[in-house]
Amino acid sequence: MKISILKVIIFSFIIFSLSIFWLGLKINNNYDTKSLIGSQISNFQLTEINNDEQYISREDLRKNKYTLINFFASWCAPCRTEHKYLLSLSNKNKEIKIVGINFKDKKINANNFLKELGNPYGFVGEDADGKTSILFGIYGIPESILLNNELIVIKKIIGPIDQIQHDEILRLTQ
Amino acid sequence: MKINKIFCIIYFLFLVPLHSNDNKTELSEIYKNLRCLVCQGQSIADSNSDFAATLKLVVQDQINEGKNKDEIYGFLISKYGEWIVYRPTVNKGTILLWSLPYLIFIAGGFIIFVIIRKSKKSKAN
């Protein structure tokens, strides 16, 4: 039986389209920036929230064995829920230095927030216009980034830290 | 001499807004190609979200630093992945996306050619 070349092409095209459709359905479409894991952070410089003359830059983080950079704001409700886990991390593992980056917030509100809930941060930087957050691939807060002393991202947490992530951070930094 | 001076002034008066318009067009082109990650199918040009506003500031800064479109896209892709741009760059992961229209075009042309040749043959017979 002679098979027409046209039929073969049409059949192949249908199979190809169905395969693409099937693959498209299988791919996880939930967007995240976890692809940053394993990459080194960009250079940045931040002033301390209560002292404009005090700075922190990327190179300062090399001194810490592990650094957890946490983006927070007083107006962010999930930041309140994760705060107890940040306090616990700062108490349980002294090798993790937590750097807070206060995102698009008022100084007075940020200070009241820390006074009310406690301060787990070794340094609180001010990101009033949010530009620093872009350097870290942040698109909403709270977000946290765990770095080693080579400034490589070893974990990125999008959303508030919960018990599972708290335990995971402790395990990774042991 | 006086007329020359007037012409020069008029020339520069028109040149300045023209130049700033160029900058605005480039900015708007970049904004339209950047996806607002926290919005539903909007570019940062169409969005007033916090994220879009911040991204616009960063793009403006980079333009002022003299960076070109590709450098800005490259920087943002390194932070947010290919998803941040509406027009993805050509690479291993997107080669199929870019080449498929051309492949379909060629295949379509081939199919039409075969059909015409067949119909001509059947007419001749």
Residue B21 has pLDDT above 70, yes or no: no
Collapsing DSSP to helix, strand or coil, A30 comes out as: coil
> Does the beta carbon of B109 lie under 8 angstroms from any beta carbon of chain A?
no
Alpha helices, H only, chain B: 2-33, 50-64, 69-80, 95-124
Contact call for B57 and A36, based on CB within 8 A = no
d(CA A137, nearest CA chain B) in Å: 5
Which among B37, B107, B114 has CB closest to A31? Answer: B37
Say which residue the tokens 């480039």 belong to: B26
Contact call for B79 and A135, based on CB within 8 A = yes
Contact call for A139 and B57, based on CB within 8 A = no
Residue A42 has pLDDT above 70, yes or no: yes
* Complex confidence, ipTM: 0.80
Can the peptide bond before residue A142 be classed as cis, meaning omega within 30 degrees of 0? yes
Q: Where are the domains of chain B?
A: 24-89, 90-125
Answer yes or no: is A113 within a domain: yes
Domain range for residue A62? Answer: 34-172
Q: What is the pLDDT of residues A135-171, one digit of tens each?
A: 999 988 999 999 999 999 999 999 999 999 999 999 9
Q: What is the pLDDT of residues A93-124, one digit of tens each?
A: 999 999 999 999 999 999 999 999 999 999 99
According to CATH, the topology of domain B24-89 is Helicase, Ruva Protein; domain 3 (1.10.8)
pLDDT for A2: 59
Answer yes or no: is A158 within a domain: yes
Answer yes or no: is A59 within a domain: yes
Residue A73 has pLDDT above 90, yes or no: yes
pLDDT for B22: 65
Answer yes or no: is A153 within a domain: yes
List of residues 6+ apart from A41 with CB closer than 8 A: A58, A61, A135, A136, A145, A147, A151, A153
> Does the beta carbon of A74 lie under 8 angstroms from any beta carbon of chain B?
no
Query: How many structural domains compose chain A?
Result: 1
Asked whether the beta carbons of A22 and B124 are under 8 A apart, the reply is no
d(CA A51, nearest CA chain B) in Å: 24
The residue of B38, B42, B79, B114 whose CB has the most chain A CBs within 10 angstroms, and thus the best one to mutate to test that interface, is B79
pTM of the full predicted structure? 0.77
d(CA A104, nearest CA chain B) in Å: 9
> Does the beta carbon of A159 lie under 8 angstroms from any beta carbon of chain B?
no
Answer yes or no: is A121 within a domain: yes
**Domain harbouring A75, CATH code:** 3.40.30.10
Answer yes or no: is A1 within a domain: no
